[in-house]
């Protein structure tokens, strides 16, 4: 009764920021993302009659209390579905530093959902896995299906899940992550979500999103990279405008993030078509076409503030390994 799964993280082109139902993680808006081939979690779940409680190891260390509680809560959901009272030993490792704006909760909860449901011998459809992963962490539902993904906000828990718009092979674009900070963020995105309503710009953002989603889907359909990148950048800044104007304000980026953004503007002047996006952390995600990657990597390598570079193709969905 052991299973292991690999899940890639994802980068949102249209962001999930704000929830309609906090407990069920039903979002205020639909979102669109791309899975990241090189940013992944591998998680194993082993059930045993000898365990008196769950054991959780993240990157070879015992999970901190808040992480432990959240993971046990997720296992409880799966135990209830499986009508089992067996405890589990969970081991998870990431290919990237957690809490830095590469969503470790996304890949972590997606991998945990698949590995644990398999260990408990539940055979769930992709849709059910996505719903279940969403209950662990909203963005995790987008890491279940492969490639370019839409999380349709839905009306309730049963209708809020993610599905593939296009498979990974559809478009040869990359997300090059410039890692400029590796420390864990002080205010979690879960806490941040709960205070979105305090921003005077939140309702306007939500009202404008349906049109933006239509536009980005069109850009994806026609592989219009300029349109796609322009929307991605505008959307990242729009979400950060909400973050910055929440109470308390959330400033997730830092001066290094801004230097990289300036650098991207310079790249565009030189004819390298690259666009940025940022999540709840300082690392800058650079969306570009595959042939431009060597030039972009070279520019980034010359920046002292860049600690690591992670190149991602459109990634697979969550899979048993």
**Does 31 help bind ligand DP6 (rule: CB under 6 A)?**
yes
Sheet with 284-289: strands ordered across: 274-277, 284-289, 173-179, 308-312
**CB-based contact 316:8 (threshold 8 Å):** yes
Q: How far is the CB of 138 from ligand DP6 (least distance, A)?
A: 3
For residue 99, the SS3 value is coil
Query: Measuring CA to CA, which residue among 246, 235, 277, 272 is closest to residue 260?
Result: 277
Q: How many Å apart are CA 259 and CA 243, to the nearest integer? A: 20
For residue 211, the SS3 value is helix
DSSP state of 25: T
Rounded to 10 degrees, what is the CA torsion of 41, 182, 189, 68?
50
Whose Cβ is closer to ligand DP6: residue 12's or residue 176's?
A: 12
Whose Cβ is closer to ligand DP6: residue 179's or residue 299's?
A: 179
Here the tokens at position 305 are 């503030």
Site string for ligand DP6, 95-124 (x = CB under 6 A): --------x-x-------------------
Q: How far is the CB of 127 from ligand DP6 (least distance, A)?
A: 18
Q: How far is the CB of 48 from ligand DP6 (least distance, A)?
A: 28
- Segment interacting with ligand DP6 (CB under 6 A) among 122-130, 131-139, 176-184, 197-205: 131-139
**Does 189 help bind ligand DP6 (rule: CB under 6 A)?**
yes
**Does 212 help bind ligand DP6 (rule: CB under 6 A)?**
no
- Taking the CA atoms of 244, 248, 253 and 259 in sequence, report the sign of the dihedral they define: positive
Binding residues for ligand DP6, how many (CB under 6 A)?
A: 16
Query: Measuring CA to CA, which residue among 175, 109, 183, 134 is closest to residue 27?
Result: 134
Query: Which residues on neighbouring strands pair with residue 150, listed in sequence order?
Result: 32, 163
Task: Name the residue with the smallest CB distance to ligand DP6.
Answer: 138
- Segment interacting with ligand DP6 (CB under 6 A) among 137-145, 205-213, 254-262, 269-277: 137-145
**Does 137 help bind ligand DP6 (rule: CB under 6 A)?**
yes
**Does 275 help bind ligand DP6 (rule: CB under 6 A)?**
no
**Does 94 help bind ligand DP6 (rule: CB under 6 A)?**
no
Rounded to 10 degrees, what is the CA torsion of 50, 52, 58, 61?
-90
Whose Cβ is closer to ligand DP6: residue 17's or residue 202's?
A: 17
Which residues of the chain form contacts with ligand DP6 (CB under 6 A)? 12, 15-17, 25, 31, 103, 105, 137-139, 189-190, 193, 279-280
């Amino acid at each position: 009764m052991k299973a292991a799964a690999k899940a890639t993280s994802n980068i949102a082109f249209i962001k999930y920021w704000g929830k309609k139902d906090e407990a069920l993680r039903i979002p205020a808006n639909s979102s669109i993302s791309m899975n990241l081939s090189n940013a992944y979690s591998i998680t194993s779940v082993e059930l045993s009659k000898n365990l008196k409680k769950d054991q959780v190891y993240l990157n070879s260390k015992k999970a901190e209390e808040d992480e432990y509680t959240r993971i046990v809560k997720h296992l409880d959901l799966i135990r209830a579905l499986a009508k089992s009272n067996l405890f589990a030993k969970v081991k998870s490792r990431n290919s990237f530093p957690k809490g830095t704006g590469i969503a470790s909760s996304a890949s972590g909860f997606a991998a945990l959902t698949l590995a644990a449901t398999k260990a408990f011998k539940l055979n769930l459809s992709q849709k059910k896995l996505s719903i279940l992963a969403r209950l662990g962490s909203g963005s995790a539902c987008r890491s279940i299906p492969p490639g370019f993904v839409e999380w349709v906000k839905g009306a309730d828990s049963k209708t809020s899940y993610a599905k593939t718009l296009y498979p990974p092979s559809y478009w040869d674009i990359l997300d090059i992550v410039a890692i400029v900070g590796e420390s864990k963020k002080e205010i979690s995105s879960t806490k941040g979500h709960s205070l979105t309503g305090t921003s005077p710009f939140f309702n306007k953002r939500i009202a404008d999103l349906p049109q933006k989603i239509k536009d980005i889907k069109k850009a994806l359909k026609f592989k219009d990279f300029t349109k796609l990148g322009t929307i991605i950048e505008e959307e990242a800044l729009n979400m950060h405008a909400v973050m910055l104007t929440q109470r308390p304000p959330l400033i997730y980026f830092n001066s290094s993030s801004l230097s990289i953004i300036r650098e991207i503007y310079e790249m565009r002047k030189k004819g390298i078509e690259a666009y940025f996006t940022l999540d709840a952390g300082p690392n800058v995600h650079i969306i570009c076409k595959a042939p431009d990657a060597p030039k972009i990597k070279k520019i980034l390598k010359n920046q002292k503030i860049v600690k690591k570079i992670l190149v991602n193709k459109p990634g697979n969905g969550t899979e048993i390994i």
